[in-house]
Amino acid sequence: METQPTQAATAEPDEITREVVDLMANLVALFHREYEEAAAARSLTGAQAKVLALLRRGPMPMRQIAQTLSCEPSNITGIVDRLETRGFVTRAADRQDRRVKLVAATDTGAAASEELRESLNFAREPLAALGHDERAVLRDLLQRMLAGAAGPGA
């Protein structure tokens, strides 16, 4: 059952909304710090780790990587150059459009990304305090919030 935003959703935030926003900000800060530390422990920058994480979905055009990470394509070129030098990614022309460069994780890059992902205890430990059904509800609520943030047609 999908609920529609209420009038309260567009009005001034109430105290619970403010508290939820503050809690989410604290969670994001904790996750960001642990993610950066985990990346650095593997001699990666946070941006390099994020590119490798995106590539778990499969090969991607460089422009799409830049858009997803909200950064300039020239920044992605530098990040991909460094990852390619380390043997973590390959770059090849798209078969449908040779002007488009597709970036793909190598086995080494995929393993490094998975190792980093498995090392992140930040979310795993607090989530262990929630039961399976509670985690499912939290997941569904977060998906709904993210879908709403994407806007119509996204």
Q: What is the CATH number of the domain that holds 105?
A: 1.10.10.10
- Residue 147's pLDDT band, with cuts at 50, 70 and 90, is confident
CA 121 from centroid of its chain's CA atoms: 16
Is residue 11, in this structure, part of any structural domain at all? no
Is the pLDDT confidence value at 51 over 50?
yes
Predicted local confidence at residue 154, as pLDDT: 46
Q: Which two tokens stand for residue 65?
A: 């990587």
- Residue 148's pLDDT band, with cuts at 50, 70 and 90, is confident
Is residue 26, in this structure, part of any structural domain at all? no
Give the bridge partners for 123, in sequence order: none
Mean pLDDT of 51-63: 94
User: Against a cut of 0.95, is the pTM above it?
Assistant: no
- Domain of residue 65: give its range: 45-146
Q: How many domains does the chain contain in total?
A: 1
Is the pLDDT confidence value at 152 over 70?
no
Is the pLDDT confidence value at 7 over 80?
no
Is residue 97, in this structure, part of any structural domain at all? yes
Mean pLDDT of 93-120: 92
Is residue 28, in this structure, part of any structural domain at all? no
∠ Cα 83 99 110 (to 5°)? 25
Is residue 38, in this structure, part of any structural domain at all? no
pLDDT, the chain, mean: 87
Q: Do the beta carbons of residue 87 and residue 106 sit within 8 Å?
A: yes
How many angstroms separate the CA atoms of 50 and 61, rounded?
15
Q: Do the beta carbons of residue 49 and residue 35 sit within 8 Å?
A: yes
- Residue 30's pLDDT band, with cuts at 50, 70 and 90, is confident
Is the pLDDT confidence value at 150 over 80?
no
Mean pLDDT of 53-73: 93
